[in-house]
Amino acid sequence: MPLFRNGNPLIPNSPKQLNVVSCKPYFACELNALWHSRFPVIHWSNVVRNRDYCCFIAIYDDFVYAVAIWSSPIAANRMKEGISMLELRRLAIAPDAPKFTASWMLSAMRKKIKKSMLHIKTLISYQDTDVHSGTIYKASGWIAANTSKEGMDWRVTRSRNNAQSLAPKTRWELKI
């Protein structure tokens, strides 16, 4: 599947023209590296080693406009029902994607996950409050469940990648 166009093919003007399909984690991680605003690096092995995972792309005319990477929650062992949750690890949108692609894609993926992963009851995602306001989650009916505080204890006791944001995070949840 090509990443870039040669010539002047049609460009979608609405996310409703896009088709959301599954893709391999390696390909999803490559696309994330091109488009993610804050965390372009996620190695495919960090996706496939989880109990549950899935990756999606939004395509039109055989060209990709968005990518999403889902896996079992990173902190599933600290969550009451972590085994029945799926975490959106990355959502990256191409610069030429139609407006509202992110919120539209969240809805399309929810339907696919609900149909194919029957044991998943809740979707979660973490919003970096330094760079995002949570608009796509609000527009898609997600609920802000918790916002972390800066300087949390685990940041002192656990080493973090230097690229990791230290900003407070809002955890968004959606029951499916």
- Residue 70 structure tokens: 């889902």
| pLDDT for the residue 155 | 45
pLDDT tens digit sequence for 38-79: 777 888 888 999 999 999 999 999 999 999 999 999 876 677
pTM for this predicted structure: 0.83
pLDDT tens digit sequence for 117-157: 999 999 999 988 777 788 899 999 999 988 887 644 444 55
Q: Which residues contact 85 (CB under 8 A, 6 or more apart)?
A: 72, 73, 76, 79, 120, 121, 122, 123, 124
Output the CA torsion sign for 58, 59, 65, 67.
Answer: positive
| pLDDT for the residue 53 | 96
Length of the chain, in residues: 176
CATH topology for the 16-175 domain: Aminopeptidase (3.40.630)
pLDDT tens digit sequence for 11-32: 899 999 999 999 999 999 999 9
